[in-house]
A and B are shown apart, each in its own frame.
Chain A
C-alpha cells in the first residue's frame, strides 16, 4: 500500500512565524501535491510538483512556498504565518499517467495560527 506520511497531525504556531509542513511518500511517485481544506470550500490546490526541484503554483499559492529536494519529500512553507492560514493541510502523491492516476493522501495536518 502507498504510504503518505505528514510529519504532524496537529500544529499550533504564532502569527509571523515561519512554518514548515513535511510530507514523505514511499512509492517513488513523480507527482506530489499540497492542498488546504476548509469547510464548505472542499480541497484547494496550493502547489504541486512533478519532479525533483520542479514546482507549479496551484489555485491559492499566495503566502506559501514549497521545496522538493528529494523525490520522496515535499515541504510546504508558510513564510510568515497569518491567522487566515489556520486550516487542514493535506499532502498527496501520484504516478504520472494520462490524467487518470489517483492521488494518495496523507492523514493531514491541522494547523492553528494564533
Chain B
C-alpha cells in the first residue's frame, strides 16, 4: 500500500526565509503526489500535484515541489515566507488501483515568525 511520511509536525520560519516542508513516499509504482494546505477552520485546498509530466511542479501562492524518484521525495518549498503562509500542509499519494483514493500524511503545521 502507498504511504507518505511528513518529517516534522511543526516547522517555524522567519518571514522572508525559505520554506521547506518534507514529504517522502512509499509506492510500488510511479505515484501521483499532491500537496494540500489547510487554513484555520477551513477544508483542504490543493496547492499542486505531480502527475509525471515534469519533475518540478509549480503551484499556487508561490509554492513549488520537486519529485525525486531516487530519494522517493516530494518536498514543498517557497523562497520567501509570508505571514499568510501560516497553515497546516498535507502531502498525499494516490492509490494507483484505478480509483481516486488518496493516502495523506500526518501534516506539518507551519508557523511564520514576524
Interface size on B, residues (CB 8 A): 26
Contacts of B36 in A (CB 8 A): 105
Interface membership of A96, Cβ < 8 A: yes
> Judging by beta carbons under 8 Å apart, are A48 and B43 in contact?
no
Instruction: Check if A99 sits within 8 Å of B96, measured CB to CB.
Output: yes
| Contact residues on A (Cβ < 8 Å of other chain), bracket | 20 to 34
State in angstroms the CA–CA spacing of A23 and B81 once bound together.
34
Contact A31 B99 (CB under 8 A): yes
Q: Which residues of B contact A11 (CB under 8 A)?
A: none
A-B contact count (CB 8 A): 66
- Against B, the Cβ 8 Å flags (1 = close, 0 = not) of A19-45 are 000000000000101010000111101
Asked if B105 and A106 make an inter-chain contact with CB atoms under 8 angstroms apart, the answer reads no
Q: Are B43 and A99 in contact (CB under 8 A)?
A: no
Q: Which residues of A contact B (CB under 8 A)?
A: 4, 9, 31, 33, 35, 40-43, 45, 48, 50, 58, 90, 92, 94-108
